[in-house]
């Protein structure tokens, strides 16, 4: 067994390939609802900003341009309710997945002692990269149902994810207040993955940076944001973190040494994207229509849907093993993600993304009917 394979879990998507082949054999082609990748065009004003900055022969800075930092600060204040924010409260990153995977390493976790290892905790149903990040640095990954019931001994990093991938669950404001207070009491650093925050449907997601949650101080808390979903920029790798300036200052120094720089044209595109709310509202409307159509079709087909009040997914079950459901839908030419990709607790669910085109969503609805 190689050193890599002994440290990391099997890349889950490889296991889906046979079912993808079955779905692709459908006479009308595959409807791929397994991965939440954007399919709609990048808004024109963002493309124009990227092109205008294309002549960028010099190295960009890790911290980003002053214009980018202004845009990040302004958006956090306007959209998240953050107060007394400044440039030291924000840091651009090269896509949020890179940040999630390498954050424990950049924080210096994983050394521990012979009898005690640094612990990284994340939700029992979660995006697999939280576990990967812990394992890459040699820390101990631990799952939770309620983080305040964790043993704080050795706990160095607590991941929150609201809205959740895969379930779409949203943590209420009072839950966030309780968790942040507990973490501060025990000296635990909180990173809140809020990449789907602008995609609430039946609930209004709240950031840990909201003053009602953090009390107007950002000590020990950082939020993670991405433009991949809100602005169709998955291909740009545009993301950022915001919060505790002490934590971000340390990360900035580490990332300078590592050369982790957001390309200059992407920085310019991010400024344009964060300065415009119209394209976000238009994209939300597209996703809302697709969500409604798929939700109704799944319910009529005998599925039960849990949570899913936000994000780009429906967390659905037919009360059978998830791979049986994957196989059933593949025969209809529809590919979905098995729930056990996100933890054993998802073994009877599937995650259905509504990021396909209108035409493909319509095809799925027809097949489910």
- pLDDT tens-digit map of 253-270: 999 999 999 999 999 999
The reported pLDDT for the residue numbered 94 is 96
For residue 184, is pLDDT > 60? yes
Q: Exposed, middle or buried by CB within 10 Å (0-12, 13-18, 19+), for 114?
A: exposed
For residue 2, is pLDDT > 60? no
For 8-17, 86-95, 235-244, which range has the lowest pLDDT when averaged over its residues?
8-17
Q: How far is the C-alpha of 311 from the C-alpha of 210, rounded, in Å?
A: 19
The reported pLDDT for the residue numbered 115 is 53
The reported pLDDT for the residue numbered 249 is 98
Q: Could you please report the per-residue DSSP string of 237-267?
A: T-EEEEE-HHHHHHHHHHHHHHT----HHHH
Of the pLDDT bands very low, low, confident and very high (cuts 50, 70, 90), residue 112 is low
Among 283, 274, 225, CA closest to 49:
274
Q: How far is the C-alpha of 334 from the C-alpha of 29, rounded, in Å?
A: 9
pTM for this model (two decimals): 0.94
Of the pLDDT bands very low, low, confident and very high (cuts 50, 70, 90), residue 84 is very high
What domains appear along the chain, each with residue ranges and CATH number?
3-41+279-368 (3.90.1150.10), 44-276 (3.40.640.10)
For residue 241, is pLDDT > 90? yes
Q: What mean pLDDT comes out for the span 267-296?
A: 98
The reported pLDDT for the residue numbered 1 is 44
122-142 confidence digits (pLDDT tens): 999 999 999 999 999 999 999
Q: How far is the C-alpha of 220 from the C-alpha of 310, rounded, in Å?
A: 26
With b meaning 16 or more CB within 10 Å and e meaning fewer, what string describes 346-368? bebbbbbbbbbeeebbebbbebb
Q: How far is the C-alpha of 158 from the C-alpha of 174, rounded, in Å?
A: 18
For residue 172, is pLDDT > 70? yes
Tokens found for residue 338: 């098995």
Mapped onto helix, strand or coil, the DSSP state of residue 8 is coil
Among residues of the chain, what percentage have pLDDT more than 70?
Answer: 95
Q: How far is the C-alpha of 250 from the C-alpha of 269, rounded, in Å?
A: 26
307-364 confidence digits (pLDDT tens): 999 999 999 999 999 999 999 999 999 999 999 999 999 999 999 999 999 999 999 9
């Amino acid at each position: 067994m190689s050193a890599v394979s002994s440290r990391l879990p099997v890349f889950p998507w490889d296991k889906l390939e046979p079912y993808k082949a079955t779905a692709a054999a459908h006479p009308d082609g595959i409807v791929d609802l397994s991965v939440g990748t954007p399919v709609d065009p990048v808004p024109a004003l963002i493309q124009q900003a990227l092109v205008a900055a294309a002549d960028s022969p010099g190295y960009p800075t890790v911290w980003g341009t002053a214009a980018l930092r202004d845009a990040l600060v302004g958006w956090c204040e306007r959209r998240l309710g953050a107060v007394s924010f400044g440039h030291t409260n924000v840091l651009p990153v090269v896509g949020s997945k890179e940040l999630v995977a390498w954050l424990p390493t950049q924080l210096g976790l994983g050394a521990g002692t012979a009898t005690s290892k640094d612990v990284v905790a994340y939700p029992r149903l979660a995006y697999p990269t939280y576990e990967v990040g812990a394992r890459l640095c040699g820390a101990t990954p631990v799952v939770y149902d309620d983080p305040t019931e964790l043993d704080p001994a050795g706990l160095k990093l607590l991941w929150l994810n609201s809205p959740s991938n895969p379930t779409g669950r949203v943590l209420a404001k009072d839950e966030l207040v309780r968790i942040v207070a507990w973490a501060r009491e025990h000296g635990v650093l909180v990173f809140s993955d809020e990449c789907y925050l602008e995609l609430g449907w039946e609930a209004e997601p709240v950031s840990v940076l909201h003053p009602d949650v953090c009390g107007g101080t950002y000590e020990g808390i950082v939020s993670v944001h991405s433009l991949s979903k809100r602005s169709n920029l998955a291909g740009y790798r545009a993301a950022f973190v915001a919060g505790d300036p002490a934590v971000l200052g340390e990360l900035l120094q580490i990332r300078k040494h590592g050369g982790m720089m957001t390309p200059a044209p992407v920085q310019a595109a991010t400024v344009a994207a964060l300065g415009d709310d119209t394209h976000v509202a238009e994209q939300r409307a597209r996703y809302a229509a697709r969500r409604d159509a798929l939700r109704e079709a799944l319910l009529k087909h005998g599925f039960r849907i849990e949570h899913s009040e936000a994000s780009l997914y429906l967390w659905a079950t037919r009360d059978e093993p998830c791979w049986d459901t994957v196989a059933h839908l593949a025969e209809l030419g529809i590919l979905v993600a098995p729930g056990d990709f996100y933890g054993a607790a998802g073994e009877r669910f599937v995650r259905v993304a509504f990021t396909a085109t209108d035409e493909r969503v319509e095809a799925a609805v027809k097949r489910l009917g």
